[in-house]
Structure 1
Amino acid sequence: MGFRLLFFIIVLLVVEVYAFQAVKTNVKDKWFLVGYSLLSLAILVYIVYGFFSFDRSVGQTKFTLFTMGLMLVVYLPKMVLAVVLLLEDVFRIGAGVLNYFTENDNESFLDSRRKFVSQIGLGLAAIPFLSLLYGVTIGKYNYKVIKQRIFFPDLPDAFDGFTITQISDVHSGSFDNPEKINYAIDLINEQNSDMILFTGDIVNTHAKEMHPWIETFNRIKKPQYGKFSVLGNHDYGEYVAWPSESEKSQNFKEIKDLYGQIGFSLLLNEHTIIQKGEDRIAVVGVENWGHNFKKAGDLNKASEALNDKDFKILMSHDPSHWDHEVKNHQKNFHLTFSGHTHGMQFGIEIPGYFKWSLAQYVYAQWAGLYEHLGRYVYVNRGFGFHAYPGRVGIMPEITVIELKKGEKVA
């Protein structure tokens, strides 16, 4: 840990040196440069202190969220700037070597930095700086209601037009604006769906994170066909060091109780039947199953007594479960609701045309609707935020799915 932290500090110092050179090339005022240097040093010390003081028995806090946000907002742009100047240095050194061997004694070994190169670097650095600043001030609460209609030839007739609202990845321990959260709850209620599903991660780690928000989330109206939930990987409290196994177990029990306290029926490797007239569908809920995370989900146990002809809606927090087990399962799970990825909270998305995020290099299904042989998974982009206290391009989502009987019209 000590070596990695030292390496981290050295990298930041190198980035700072390059950033200062770019500023110095464009600004000659002595006191501005002194002020810039002092501010940069103060931010660096604050960030290093934040990493030094991280307590694994506590986990993520408002302080660590702010530290991570500050580091990204300040240093990602400076890294862009450093890369531009590093490329310039490669050219300058190459030119210097060439000049040396051609014995041109009238030239210094290294040419001076070109002002326009620094200006290009500063312009490029402004893009991530403004984007990340937007993400931590506005983007993290810029809720989007995304609606999707999905056709199934074998959907029971009574469920034609049935609507489902999904939320996922609340991460209540990260919230800092009650007004924005209440606005999001109003959006959920405005959908007037037949059912509401919550696909896990109610907290970052500790049950107490949700306590200030229980009354707020109790405002989610219970629709005619119920509110159901499953656990996410963060709900198991496995990302901190606990004083004892009993305290970890008690926290896990309290987290499971939270779902009931906000009116959701928590499905733990089990299913429930939704009856509408003479027709029925099954809502199946598994515990977290992730290809690279905790594998507590038991799909076979959750679907006991169901057959491949039953119309099934599955809740499974991690979409890698769908990719590795669900999509080819013999019991034919028609539609799976997942979350987990957050779309990395950073990317580019033009609805209907283009979407990109680093998440796609980790998860085959990372945001939106995917299909395999008539079986679907919808990956919610997440309600809250974690680690980076913001969202850029990939906005917090409330999903509304409408089930339709028949074949999709091209």
Structure 2
Amino acid sequence: MLRWILFIVFYLVISFYGFQAIKTVTKNTYIHYLFIALTLLVAANFIIQFTIYSEGRVLNPAKSYAFGFLLAFISFNLVLVPILLGEDIIRGILGIYDKVVTKNENFYLPSRRKFISQVALGLAAIPFTSLLYGMYRGKYRFRVLNYTLHFEDLPDAFDGYKITQISDIHSGSFDNKEKIEYGINLINEQQSDVIFFTGDMVNNKASEMQNWKSLFGTLKANDGVFSVLGNHDYGDYVDWPTTEAKNKNLNDLKQIQKEMGFNLLLNESRFIEKNGQRIAIVGVENWGKGGFKKAGDLKKAAQNIHANDFKVLLSHDPSHWEEEVIKDDYHYHLTLSGHTHGMQFGIEIPGWIKWSPVKWRYKYWAGIYKEMGQYINVNRGFGYLGYPGRVGIWPEVTVIELKKGTANS
């Protein structure tokens, strides 16, 4: 209860400054009433979705949109607060000066300046419209990122081998079948030799995938589709009535992946062979630092492979690579991860800037990294979670071509 009281107080305070800016710029009372109505509607919808219709930490489209609109509205008001608060401080100083120095009988507080409020509203509109755009279009703005990685010990038969990676489907958030179908077609159009999915198929429950399994079942590659589990796939964020119900949910998800033709790797490995040569595909269950599930067992997953095998590791959380993989006795040539979503918000201009607040939480948060002669690709995710959109960090299909030799050869 206390957190809701604190939330309401915070929300009303910052909304007050939003109202002050609107009132200063226009005297139209209909616009004033509209702002008040939106303020109350956004807050009420959020509270209702996260209390009356809440299933604990289970996220669905209705809850996600309630959070998204709240986030957009708060961002709008938060930009206004420091500007108008700064103006209030100056107005207060001028009022005190007028009262004390000029000996004015009455305390006079200067009026707000319309220009200041206009500038503040213009600045506030940037994050507000960006977040709304991210909800309307950004979340399905799929892009293909192509990389070429060189390895001196790559088997000759796999020179030019193409991998497509997707991650973080989060099917429980989807609300547009046509857009998802476009994304699936985009994956198949890459005509890669193999497809890897690196976890978080659902938000919380296997049932979220039922309406989408036939569509994702159309993913095809010559050497198959391989997958691993992410932290959301275990149902840990649901208040299950019994342990049996939770276990059934996980088994149902495993069955769905089987029906879709996904080869789910649970701390195990497979080999892909070409012309008498092979590469090892190693898949671990979720392993993440910072309170996330640690079901991954790298030693168990690699027990049937050899030290000199060329290895591709599927591990959902990139913190696993940082904490265990690059320090392991075995050399894992390429690790494929996801999990971070790039926070679904940031700025990326190739060759110029790559930034997201998620970098303060994860050292390796998006794209290709190399440490100790080993590579990792952190996929930005196919779907979305929480905020129902993306701003600057778009949904990603990764295509990696493996090449024999060095980059300069």
The normalised TM-score by structure 1 is 0.96
Alpha carbons 1:168, 1:198 under 8 Å: kept: yes
Letter in 2 for 1:34: Y
Shift of 1:9: 0.6
Give secondary structure in 1 for the equivalent of 2:182. Answer: helix
CA shift at 1:291, angstroms?
A: 0.6
- C-alpha distance 109-196 of structure 1, shift in aligned 2 (>3 A): same
Q: 2:236 aligns with which of 221, 235, 238?
A: 238
Q: CA deviation at 1:261?
A: 1.6
Could you list the runs of 5+ residues in structure 1 that have no partner in the other structure? Answer: none
Per the alignment, in what secondary structure is the counterpart of residue 31 of structure 2?
A: helix
Q: d(CA) in 2 for partners of 1:252 and 1:323?
A: 27
Is the CA contact (8 Å cut-off) linking 2:158 and 2:402 kept in structure 1? yes
Q: Is the 8 A contact 1:57 1:242 kept in 2?
A: no
Task: Identify which range, 123-132 or 84-93, moves more after superposition.
Answer: 84-93
Distance 1:114 1:282, change over 3 A: same
* Match of residue 390 from structure 1: 389
Distance 1:359 1:58, change over 3 A: closer
Deviation at 1:82, TM superposition (A): 1.9
Q: 1:151 and 1:365 mapped to 2: Cα distance?
A: 20
C-alpha separation between the residues in 2 aligned to 1:330 and 1:347? 36
Per the alignment, residue 275 of structure 1 pairs with 273
| Aligned residue identity for 2:20 | Q
Describe the SS at the equivalent of 2:213.
Answer: helix
State the AA in 1 paired with 2:367: G
Equivalents in 1 of 2:399, 2:29: separation in Å? 57
CA distance in 2, matches of 1:326, 1:276: 26
* One-letter code aligned to 1:201: D
1:145 alignment counterpart: 144
**More divergent stretch after superposition (31-40 vs 302-311):** 31-40
The answer (yes or no) to whether the contact 1:99–1:107 under 8 Å persists in 2 is no
Distance 1:98 1:322 in 2: 61
Seen in structure 2, the aligned counterparts of structure 1 residues 58 and 118 have a Cα distance that, compared at 3 Å, is closer
Q: CA deviation at 1:119?
A: 1.0
Structure 1 residues 233 and 105 mapped into 2: Cα distance closer, same or farther (>3 Å)?
A: same
Residue 250 to residue 364, structure 1, CA distance change in 2 (3 Å): same
1:188 aligns with 2:187: yes
- TM-superposed deviation, 1:53: 2.2
* CA deviations over 1:87-146 (Å, ceiling 9, x no partner): 222333344444444354277453221211111110111101111111001000000010
Query: C-alpha displacement at 1:57, in angstroms?
Result: 5.0
SS, match of residue 211 in structure 2 = helix
Once the 2 structures are TM-superposed, how far is the Cα of residue 308 of structure 1 from its aligned partner? Answer: 3.0
Q: Please say if residues 169 and 202 of structure 1, whose CA atoms lie closer than 8 Å, have aligned partners that are also in contact.
A: yes
Work out whether residues 57 and 243 of structure 1, in 8 Å CA contact, stay in contact via their aligned partners in 2: no
What does residue range 262-341 of structure 1 map to in structure 2 within 5 Å?
Answer: 262-292=260-290, 293-341=292-340
**Corresponding residue for 2:65?**
66
Equivalent pair of 1:288/1:297 in contact (CA under 8 Å): yes
Deviates more, 1:84-93 or 1:381-390: 84-93
2:245 corresponds, among 235, 244, 247, to 247
Q: Which residue of 2 aligns with 1:372?
A: 371
Q: Secondary structure at the match of 2:210?
A: helix
Q: Which residue of 2 aligns with 1:15?
A: 14
In the alignment, does 2:207 pair up with 1:228?
no
Per the TM alignment, residue 399 of structure 1 is displaced from its structure 2 partner at its CA by: 0.5
Tell me the residue number matched to 1:87. Answer: 86
Amino acid at match of 1:334: H
CA displacement at 1:58 relative to structure 2: 7.3
The range that moved more, 56-65 or 379-388, is: 56-65
Query: Which has the higher mean CA deviation after the structures are superposed, 39-48 or 387-396?
Result: 39-48
Give 3-state SS (helix, strand or coil) of 1:93's partner: helix
The one-character-per-residue Cα deviations of 1:315-368 (angstroms, maximum 9, x if unpaired) are 000000001111121101110000000001011111232111111110000110
The answer on whether the counterparts of 1:336 and 1:377 sit within 8 Å (CA) in structure 2 is yes
Aligned 8 A contact 1:270 1:303 in 2: yes
- Unpaired stretches in structure 2, ≥5 consecutive residues: none
CA distance in structure 1 between the aligned counterparts of 2:4 and 2:179, rounded to whole angstroms? 36
1:300-322 CA distance string (max 9 Å, x none) = 11111433321100000000000
SS at match of 1:193: coil
Q: Deviations over 1:132-172 (max 9, x none)?
A: 11100100000001000011111111111000000100001
Q: Deviations over 1:68-95 (max 9, x none)?
A: 1111122211211122212222333344
The residue identity in structure 2 corresponding to 1:137 is Y
Return the letter of the residue paired with 1:273: F
Aligned to 2:207: 208
Equivalent residue number for residue 52 of structure 1: 51
1:35-76 deviations in whole A, cap 9, x for unaligned? 332332233322222233252357112210110111112221
Structure 1 Cα separation of the partners of residues 224 and 33 of structure 2: 61
Aligned to 2:346: 347
Task: Give the number of aligned pairs.
Answer: 408
Cα distance, 1:331–1:108 mapped onto 2, change above 3 Å: same
Give 1:174 deviation, angstroms: 0.7
Superposition deviation, residue 383 in structure 1: 0.3
**RMSD of aligned C-alpha atoms?**
1.6
CA contact (8 A) 1:370 1:378 kept: yes
Q: Which residue is 2:38 aligned to?
A: 39
Query: 1:404 & 1:203 partners in 2: Cα distance?
Result: 34
TM-score (norm 2): 0.96
